[in-house]
Amino acid sequence: MLKIVVCVKVVPKPEEVQVDTETRRLDRAGARSEINPPDMNALEMALVLKDRYGARVDIISMGPPFFTPLLQVALAMGADHIYLLSDRAFGGADTLATTYTLALGIQKLGGADLVFCGEESSDGATGQVPAGLAEWLNIAQITGVHDVDVDPAQGSVRGRREIPGGYELLEVPLPAVISAQTSSNEPRFMDYRIKPWAFAEEQLTVWDRAALDADGEYIGTPGSPTVVSGLDQAPSRERKHIFLKGSPDEIVHRLAGVIRDSL
Ligand SMILES: Cc1cc2nc3c(=O)[nH]c(=O)nc-3n(C[C@H](O)[C@H](O)[C@H](O)COP(=O)(O)OP(=O)(O)OC[C@H]3O[C@@H](n4cnc5c(N)ncnc54)[C@H](O)[C@@H]3O)c2cc1C
C-alpha cells in the first residue's frame, strides 16, 4: 500500500495579518487561522490516489498546538493520522530549519512513497520547503504540479505541470516530493460521517524535539541563517486617469506614446 505524507501548514488569514515592525515578524495574534490553501490542493491529490490505489495518508505539520482543530479538518476529509511537530525550540525557524525538522518527522514515520506539499505558503511564500525536503530526504521532486498519478508497477510518479502555451509531463521514480499548484483541483468537503472520529484526540501524535532527536544547531533560531534585515512599506502609486480619444488607429498611436513616456 502506498505511504503518503502531506505537509500542511496552518497560516494566518492573509487579509487579517499584520507585520510587527519591531521584531520584523508576522503578528499572528489578531488574525484567524486557516489551512494554507494550496495544501488543501495537495491533500486532495493525495486523497484521489488513496481512492484509486489504496494508501495511508498521514498529515505532518510543524507548529503550535492551537493548529490541531484545523489539522483535524484534513482527517475529516479522509486522511488517517496527524503528526504535529511542536516544541518551543522549533520557533523562529527559517525554511532551512523547517525542512530539517519536517524531514526528521518523515524519517521517524519510516519515510514515504510520496510527500505532498503546497507550492507555497500564503504567509512566508518562499516555495522553498518542498525542494528543501527533497534535499534532506535525498529523493526526487516535481514542483508546481497540476495533477498527478502513480504507476505502482513501475514504482514511478508522473506529474503534469502547466507552462505558458501548454503543459509538460515529468516522471520520476518513487519516493518523491510533489508540490501542488494552487487551485489545481477542488478540495473535497469534510465527510460528516467520519467527523466525530476525526475530532477525537487519538488521531493526533505530537512529537517534540526530544522525540525527533533533533540536533539543536539545526532547529529554530540557531538553525536559521536567514535574517530579515529590514522592512519597507511599498510606496503606493497614484493612479493617473488618461482618456484617449480619436479613431482606433489614433488611440493606439497615443497609447504607445504614453507607454513610451512612462518608461
Ligand atoms: C528569520 C525568520 C524567522 C522566522 N521566524 C518564524 C517564527 O518565529 N514563527 C513562524 O511561525 N515562522 C517564522 N518564520 C517563517 C518560517 O520560516 C516559514 O513559515 C517556514 O520556513 C516555511 O516557509 P514558507 O512559509 O516560505 O513555506 P513554503 O516553502 O512557501 O511552503 C511550501 C509548502 O511547504 C509546506 N510547509 C511549509 N511550512 C510548513 C510547516 N510549518 N509545516 C508543514 N508543512 C509546511 C506546505 O505544504 C506549504 O504549502 C521565520 C522566517 C524567517 C526568514
Alpha helices in the chain (DSSP H): 37-53, 68-77, 95-108, 129-137, 195-198, 209-212, 248-262
Q: What is the tens place of the pLDDT at every residue in 131-140?
A: 999 999 999 9
The predicted model scores a pTM of 0.88
**41: Cβ below 6 Å to ligand 1?**
no
Structure confidence at residue 156 (pLDDT): 98
Per the structure, the complete domain to which residue 23 belongs is given by 2-212
Q: Which of 2, 38, 9 is nearest to 114 (CA)?
A: 2
- Distance between CA atoms of residues 237 and 64, nearest Å: 39
Three-state secondary-structure class, residue 31: coil
Q: What is the CA(141)–ligand 1 centre distance, in A?
A: 19
Q: How far is the CA of 123 from the centre of ligand 1 (A)?
A: 8
Instruction: Judge whether residue 202 has pLDDT over 90.
Output: no
241 located within any domain: no
C-alpha cell of residue 14? 492573509
- Output the residue whose Cα is nearest ligand 1's atom 24: 124
Domain count, the chain: 1
Ligand 1 pocket check for 52: Cβ under 6 Å: no
48 vs 55, 167, 169, 185, CA distance in Å? Answer: 10, 21, 19, 11
Does residue 234 belong to any structural domain of this protein? no
Entry field: residues in the chain: 263
206 pairs with which residues across the strands?
A: 84
Residue 177 grid coordinates: 516530493
The SS3 assignment for 207 reads strand
For cell 508522473, name the residue: 158
pLDDT tens-place string over residues 177-191: 999 999 999 999 999
Going by pLDDT thresholds of 50, 70 and 90, the confidence category of residue 27 is: confident
Distance 73 CA to ligand 1 centre (A): 20
Which cell numbers hold the place of 34?
486557516
Residue 135 sits in a domain whose CATH number is: 3.40.50.620
Q: Tell me, yes or no, whether 232 lies in a domain.
A: no
Average pLDDT score, the chain: 94
Is 19 or 194 the better-scoring residue by pLDDT? 194
pLDDT digits (tens, 9 = 90+) for 212-248: 999 999 999 999 999 888 888 777 778 878 899 999 9
The reply to whether ligand 1 has any atom less than 6 angstroms from the CB of 118 is yes
Query: How many whole angstroms from its chain centre is CA 76?
Result: 19
- pLDDT at position 55, please? 97
Residue 70 lies in a domain: yes
What's the mean pLDDT in 65-83? Answer: 96
pLDDT of residue 229: 86
Q: What percent of the chain has pLDDT over 90?
A: 81
Q: Is residue 227 part of a domain?
A: no
Average pLDDT over residues 70-91: 97
Predicted local distance difference test score (pLDDT) of residue 20: 79
| Residue 255: predicted pLDDT | 94
Assign 218 to helix, strand or coil.
coil
**What is the mean pLDDT of the segment spanning 120-146?**
96
- The answer to whether residue 253 is domain-embedded is no
Cα(203) to centroid of ligand 1, in Å?
24
Does a structural domain hold residue 156?
yes
Ligand 1 atom 17: the closest Cα is on which residue? Answer: 94
Q: Give residues with Cβ within 8 angstroms of 79, minimum separation 6.
A: 6, 43, 46, 47, 57, 58, 59
Place 21 in a pLDDT band, splitting at 50, 70 and 90: confident
- Residue pair 58/5 in contact (Cβ under 8 Å)? The answer is yes
- Strand 156-163 relative to strand 166-173: parallel, antiparallel, unpaired? antiparallel
Q: Is the CB of 58 under 6 A from ligand 1?
A: no
Confidence of residue 209 (pLDDT cuts 50, 70, 90): very high
Report the separation in Å between the CA atom of 9 and the middle of ligand 1, taken as the mean of its atom positions: 8
Task: Tell me how far the alpha carbon of residue 28 lies from the centroid of ligand 1, in angstroms.
Answer: 13
Work out which ligand 1 atom sits closest to the CA atom of 125. Answer: 30
Is pLDDT at 25 greater than 80 in this prediction? Answer: no
Residue of 25, 40, 115, 121 best suited for mutating to test ligand 1, as the one with most atoms within 8 Å of CB: 121
Assess if residue 224 is contained within a domain.
no
**Contact, 198 vs 69, CB < 8 A?**
no
Higher pLDDT, 1 or 231: 1
pLDDT digits (tens, 9 = 90+) for 83-122: 999 999 999 999 999 999 999 999 999 999 999 999 999 9
Question: Mean of the pLDDT values across residues 201-206?
Answer: 92
**Distance between alpha carbon 160 and the CA centroid of its chain, in Å?**
18
